[in-house]
Amino acid sequence: MLGGGNMNGAILEGLLAADLRPEAPIRVTTRSSASAEQQGAREHVEAFAVEADPEANRRAVKGAGLVFLGVKPYAIAELLDEIRDALEPGTVIVSVAAGITTAAIEARLTGGIRVIRSMPNTPATIGLGVTGIAAGATADDEALALAVAAFECVGEAVVVDESLINAVGAASGSGPAHLYLFAEALMAASIAEGLDEAQARTLIVGTLRGAAEMLHKNPDLEASELRRRVTSPNGTTERSVAVFQDADLEGIAKRAFRANILRSEALAGDK
Ligand SMILES: NC(=O)C1=CN([C@@H]2O[C@H](COP(=O)(O)OP(=O)(O)OC[C@H]3O[C@@H](n4cnc5c(N)ncnc54)[C@H](O)[C@@H]3O)[C@@H](O)[C@H]2O)C=CC1
Ligand SMILES: O=C(O)[C@@H]1CCC=N1
């Protein structure tokens, strides 16, 4: 795992919790020695810091069959140039970077490397991630299956055409942030009505969790039907839901997703 930050770190946590007991330790690289020390303190993990060892990334990919690229999008090109001739033919490269296309990654690698692009999310750390996965032109079915199997260790995986991976980013890659934002707003509203912070957190987090579980456990029920069951005619819910609808919550979500996707498209051209 090159770049063991928030996202790759979450995948690593999830993989370790899944108790895969890999034959060889999982190798992780980070920029700083402090975070490498933290990462490497776990069983089954070997961590290298780039600031202490300029060869860290090249060392980490030596002999590896599966390599996750988890640095920021602007740092991907330089990282690929660095590891290019340390990769062995057949290696599967899985990028988690927003915006960076498989074609751009493939263009910086030699032949025989199989490239997959993914868009995971941080609940992978507790085994509840959802990941969109797209195969590059160099990836065969075996490479795709390997990436799917890895992400299924930390949650659910959905294979999509690469043309849809930015939409996955808006829906689920950034999705936890959207839901945390909504949670913040609902907690602030609870506190404004007199509940204390602890009470607001228990009520709102419990409600989000319960409602998400109801959706998850009832795949045949539309969200709108579950909403209808809470909304008594001329009752209280009808009034609060109307306020959200008058503000065009769906239109706001569509505008937010557009902005997100436009940024993914721009990241493809950023240096
Ligand atoms: N944070 C999230 O929820 C998600 C992030 N992503 C993608 O994951 C990638 C990383 O994002 P975050 O984890 O949020 O960032 P982060 O800043 O937490 O992690 C980046 C990591 O890369 C390390 N690093 C920097 N330069 C390096 C180098 N030359 N060699 C090795 N390691 C190096 C840093 O020390 C850090 O640990 C991005 O490309 C982002 O688009 C994708 C989906 C969700
Ligand atoms: O904000 C970002 O750019 C990354 C990609 C999806 C979630 N975090």
- For 2-17, the pLDDT digits (tens) are 999 999 999 999 999 8
Q: State the distance from the centre of ligand 2 to the C-alpha of 239, rounded, in angstroms.
A: 34
Q: Whose CA is nearest to atom 3 of ligand 2?
A: 98
Q: Is the CB of 73 under 6 A from ligand 1?
A: yes
Q: Is the CB of 131 under 6 A from ligand 1?
A: no
For ligand 2, mutation pick of 174, 178, 179, 267 (most atoms within 8 Å of CB): 174
ipTM over 0.90: yes
* Separation in Å, CA 6 to CA 3, 98, 123, 164, 232: 9, 14, 11, 23, 42
Which pLDDT value is given to residue 19?
A: 74
Atom of ligand 1 nearest to the CA of 10: 13
User: Using CA atoms, how far apart are residues 222 and 138, in angstroms rounded to an integer?
Assistant: 39
The secondary structure element, H or E, covering residue 135 is: strand 129-135
Separation of 108 CA from ligand 2 center, angstroms? 23
Q: What is the pLDDT of residue 21?
A: 66
Tokens found for residue 82: 């660095």
pTM of the model: 0.96
Q: How far apart are CA 27 and CA 39, in angstroms?
A: 10
Other Cβ atoms less than 10 A from the Cβ of 269: the count is: 8
Q: Which atom of ligand 2 is nearest to the CA of 98?
A: 5
Among 31, 93, 116, 128, say which to mutate for ligand 1: greatest number of ligand atoms within 8 Å of CB: 31
Q: Closest by alpha carbon to 72, among 95, 94, 55?
A: 95
Nearest CA to ligand 2 atom 1: 174
Q: How far is the CA of 198 from the centre of ligand 1 (A)?
A: 32
Looking up tokens 């020390």, which residue turns up? 37
Which residues are paired to 30 by β-bridges? 49
* Domains with residue ranges and CATH for the chain: 6-161 (3.40.50.720), 175-267 (1.10.3730.10)
- Report strand pairing: 45-49 vs 66-69: unpaired
At 47 the pLDDT is 96
CA distance 169 to 266: 14
Residue 107 to residue 225: CA distance in whole angstroms = 48
Report the atom number in ligand 2 closest to the C-alpha of 119: 6
Cα gap 170→92, rounded to integer Å: 25
Position in ligand 2 atom list of the atom nearest CA 264 = 3
Ramachandran category for residue 49: left, alpha or beta (phi over 0 → left; psi -120 to 50 → alpha): beta
> Residues of the chain whose pLDDT is less than 70?
21, 271
| Residue among 158, 182, 160 nearest 253 (CA) | 182
Counting from 1 in the atom list of ligand 1, the atom nearest the Cα of 79 is 29
Pairwise CA distance, residues 109 & 231, whole Å: 56
Q: How many Cα atoms occupy the beta-carbon half-sphere of 109 within 13 Å?
A: 26
CA dihedral 169, 134, 25, 155 (to 10 degrees): 60
